[in-house]
Structure 1
């Protein structure tokens, strides 16, 4: 004998679990980052970037003119330090 339920609403046995998860996600606080006024001022000043660009431009000019000389001993020392750790 087959019994068919009548007038029963669709029943999801996991509905309560889903609702609990949604509540937990909604109640979680997200991380916030606040940048201080001092840090903002440092970003706006760009003095370091300007100095770096000037240095790079001077190096490019030296390379183009053939005036840039590489200290081979210093380069070798730095390579050894890097690979030895």
Structure 2
């Protein structure tokens, strides 16, 4: 029987396995990647729609102020 005392070098058998795994993973270099979900892409596109809508609203406001805005009653009746 061999007794090594309280400071045994091989006390944790999983330590060697853990060292091997960390050495292997250190050799593999992973690149960071960023993926944008479909929902995020839609939200980004909505920003473009918002600016287009604001421009359209400004044109309508200017036409109203200049008394040039005409309501298409037939089209309004069809939508309602």
- Give 1 or 2 for the bigger CA radius of gyration: 2
Verify same fold: TM over 0.5: no
Could you say which TM-score interval applies, normalised by the shorter chain?
0.3 to 0.5
TM-score, normalising length: structure 1: 0.42
TM-score, normalising length: structure 2: 0.44
